[in-house]
Amino acid sequence: MQELGEPHGAHGVGFQERRHQAVPRLAFGGGALLNVAGLFASMLYRGSKVIYVPTTLLAMHDVTTSLKTSICFDGRKNNIGTFYAPTKILIDVAFCRTLPRGELFSGIGELAKNAALLGGKHAEGFSRALSRDRINSEHGGSGEEFAIEDSMLITLLDLGIEAKMTVLAIDAYEKTHGMIFEYGHTVSHAIEKAYGDGVVPHGLGVTYGMLSSSYRWAS
């Protein structure tokens, strides 16, 4: 198995190693790296095996559930990409213990979007996991002590994965029904590019996008 840890020069590495397309590449990291790795795998030998090991909450439930791969080029967002499925996805919530608070909130932001879009158990599960009483009593409020225990992370991941897969099962390329998951993304992408890549975590940008859409609708 070849480890793909650094996206730059990925195709050169792939050819230099002289690995066959049947040999899986391991993509280990957050959403941006998985997007690059998926794009690389989709083009190498017209399709090579790739295994995703997401290490952020957002990547675990939102990135890996989509066939979309992409990179940002010439100041634009996700304007070069393909649709490609990994051979396998390995998720371990223990990685979330290493994340800074902003990355946890980023993953939660996309879950908030699912709760707003789908309601029902998605809204109920989200509200239960992140209720003010539970956070204040268990993890010291919303300060730097904020954390989510593994059991609750698993519950949230189950909800997030189910939300995406239920819709993508009938619209894998996100052209019709799957477009609902673009809620909040127009403003989010503008914010992310305005502040510079990596400054505003994607999930937080989505929450700002949803707030702006709600404000515009209400006014």
Judged on CB neighbours under 10 Å (0-12, 13-18, 19+), 175 is: exposed
Alpha helices in the chain (DSSP H): 10-16, 31-43, 57-58, 101-118, 120-129, 132-139, 150-168, 185-195, 202-218
68, 77, 149, 162: which is the annotated catalytic residue?
68
49, 182, 192, 193: which is the annotated catalytic residue?
182
To the nearest 10 degrees (0 to 180), the angle between helices 150-168 and 101-118 is: 50
Q: What is the DSSP letter of 102?
A: H
Q: Which residues make Cβ contacts (< 8 Å) with residue 132, sequence separation at least 6?
A: none
Q: What is the DSSP letter of 40?
A: H
Question: Is the separation of the CB atoms in 54 and 35 below 8 Å?
Answer: no
Question: Is the separation of the CB atoms in 159 and 126 below 8 Å?
Answer: yes
171: number of Cβ within 10 Å: 14
120's torsion region: left (phi>0), alpha (psi -120 to 50) or beta?
Answer: left
Residue 182 is a catalytic residue: yes
Active-site amino acid positions: 68, 182
